[in-house]
A and B are shown apart, each in its own frame.
Chain A
Amino acid sequence: MPDVSPMTALVTGADRGFGFCIARRLAEAGWRVYAGRVLPDYFLLDRLHNEFPQVIPLPLDVSSTDGLLCARETIGQAGGRLDLLVSNAAVMGSDGTAALGGEKALDFDALERAFCINSLAAPRLVDSLLPLLEASAFRRLFFTSSEISSIRLMRRRGDARYAMSKTALNLGVRMLFNTLRPRGFTFRLYQPGWMKRMLPDGSLAEGGEIDPDVSAAAAVRQILEDRPDEDRLVLTDLLGRELSF
């Protein structure tokens, strides 16, 4: 019998903002969405589940081995197939004036924590979920990167932590691409722009330039559309423009 179950996605970091908006847009398009949550003071996913019962909030700390195993087990038991992974979870935050040679020293614990969550978690997620992803014919992997991952475009003189973590992410995605593109996987590496922060009630804070839902809409378009050349790994923005690495 043909598999008529809905297309299934896992979206990490879906409590709020860009991840939440991607989860909502996929749900509106009829997808079953496992929505990774980690923030204790955000309940937007519960409201989304009430509106779209096929949105399933899933506690998921992407830096935790137990969390990854639990996600694999939950999704596996429900259908055994994962069509799309949206790897979006990240720890934000600036290290302000910290810089090599600056007055404020680098915080190496924070650097390594950012590496675990923002960089390493993405390949670990794919590694853990690969049997479920390979059960799908769609096999699409989406990663939230950033403009400041680009070394070529880098103009900062400090505050390196987040930038370093996203550059490392890009490299991790390249390595996944090297292994999995020959096995039919397709990749989206996305720079969402400087988005407004979503507050617990769903409203948007003042800072930032872009409504996360606008960026999510563009991201979902890029997720759902095939590209003429899937054999090139590219970093794109919400207008589909390529950024150099």
Chain B
Amino acid sequence: MTIYFTRIDDEFSRALAARFASRGDEVTTDAARTADFFIDTTDFRDPGDCRAAGGGIDADAAVRSYHENVSVPLALLEQVLPHMTGPKRICFLTTRDASVSWSTATHGYGRNMAKAALHQILTIAKNSLRAQGYTFRLLDPLSGELPAAQAAAAADVYFTRDRFDDGPDNPARDDENNLIIRDALGREIPW
């Protein structure tokens, strides 16, 4: 299989790419190639996007965060989509800080709001593309909490398993038509 990465420039993305490569999959950052998987590993944090309300929210930093976390990956996805084959799996990294229900974040407005916007457009994309066979994954790698290698192993399992198993209590969740967020420990994060 061919695995497209938007970027391989940190410990997590290198560890995840290495796991695919070790199985003989081809890893690429060339958006013009045919790909089975699209994996966005962007988690852009602008140094200026660090202030809580009352501390002087830096609008330019927030807009840069939106650009890097939303516009750039989506533009790359638009390039890759027509060439996708196989499981046509679209995988994005996110964070529970972007969960409207759960976030406890007080700073990082640009990054977190951008990721929330990403949740919405991926839901809309799932609604339109699912019928064409595309499948979707959203993962919080718990960066900063788990070692990158452990998070990459969890991402590998979550991204490559065709159907995920929520156990007998919640069979409806074992469904490609149902886009949800999971973290690297397998927990579901509400929107």
Contact = CB atoms under 8 A, between A and B. Distances in A.
B116 interface: yes
B168 interface: no
A176 B71 CA distance: 24
A116 B67 CA distance: 11
B47 interface: no
B129 A100 contact: yes
Given A123-B57, A127-B57, A168-B116, A100 B105 contact: no
Contacts, number: 148
A108 B54 CA distance: 29
B106 A175 contact: yes
Interface residues of A, number: 47
Given A112-B67, A157-B124, A178 B116 contact: no
Contact of A170 (B56, B74, B104, B116): B116
Give the one of B57, B81, B105 with max A CB within 10 A: B57
Interface in A150-189: 150-152, 154-160, 163-165, 167-172, 174-176, 178-180
Contact of B125 (A100, A150, A165, A170): A100
Give the one of A149, A164, A165 with max B CB within 10 A: A164
B172 interface: no
A interface majority secondary structure: helix
A170 B103 CA distance: 11
A115 interface: yes
A238 B75 CA distance: 37
Given A120-B59, A175-B103, A175-B109, 18 more contacts: A99-B125, A100-B81, A101-B125, A101-B132, A105-B78, A106-B75, A112-B71, A120-B62, A123-B53, A123-B57, A127-B51, A130-B54, A160-B125, A163-B124, A168-B116, A175-B106, A179-B52, A245-B101
Interface of A: 65, 99-102, 105-106, 108, 111-112, 115-116, 119-120, 123-124, 126-127, 130, 149-152, 154-160, 163-165, 167-172, 174-176, 178-180, 244-245
